[in-house]
Amino acid sequence: MMTQLTEWFYPFIINGKSVNPNLLPEVVQLHEIRIKALRHFFKTRSCKTAIDLACHQGYFTLELEKHVNEVVGIDRFADSIDKAKYIHNLLGDGRSTFINSTIEEYNNTADLVLCYGLLYHIENPIEIFRKLSAMSTRYCIIETQVASSSNPHVEDGTYKSIRKPLGTFTLVKDYSASNIGGLTDIALVPDLPAVLNLLEMFGFKFEMYNLDLTDYEQFARRQRVIIFAERSSD
């Protein structure tokens, strides 16, 4: 079956060899930072169940298995789910289940919801926060690129009354045909204030994962962030 599965996006090691030895260095570095953030999260927190949203080929699901008893990976692409199942049959420990589903159609809950590399491919990112709130019983982790902030204002019936902006969204073209793209070719990418304010609106408190200045350049410029969120007690 291995010969039938191509276009690997992650540095899985099988029989001592990488399934994709030609991955770009910046892609490998991005994966490494995401893994490092997960391990940091679990140093001080524990979970019994987790959902890996848009799990792609199951790379981060494998890491979740090391810390969580039961993991569900969901992805809308059947090809990605096939790859995830194949890899986990070889490298996993049986804790993961993979389901071919859109996020919108999936309704189960877990202690932790992992949301890596998703928000910048979504036509309606606010709906993703709504789903995060519905799925997560305690934690969620978000890793995302963020749009550059602007300073708009909204008049509330008259120029004398202004509603304070809590964040902005940038309209970009996405690539729905790709297995790392969104459902449509439209994406509204939130800036960081929008992400943080939406987390708060949907009942989460949060902390930023601190990255080294030597980490992947997007993180150094705060164009990409990792956020640990926990349900507020109040």
Reply yes or no on whether the pLDDT at 121 is more than 60. Answer: yes
Query: How far from the centroid of its chain's Cα atoms is residue 154's Cα?
Result: 30
In contact, 192 and 170? CB cutoff 8 Å: no
Q: What whole-number distance in Å separates Cα of residue 67 and Cα of residue 64?
A: 5
CATH 3.40.50.150 fits 21-231, yes or no: yes
Whole-number Å distance between alpha carbons of 73 and 98: 5
pLDDT of residue 32: 92
Residue 91 has pLDDT above 50, yes or no: yes
User: What is the average per-residue pLDDT within 165-193?
Assistant: 92
Q: Tens digits of per-residue pLDDT, 138-147?
A: 999 999 999 9
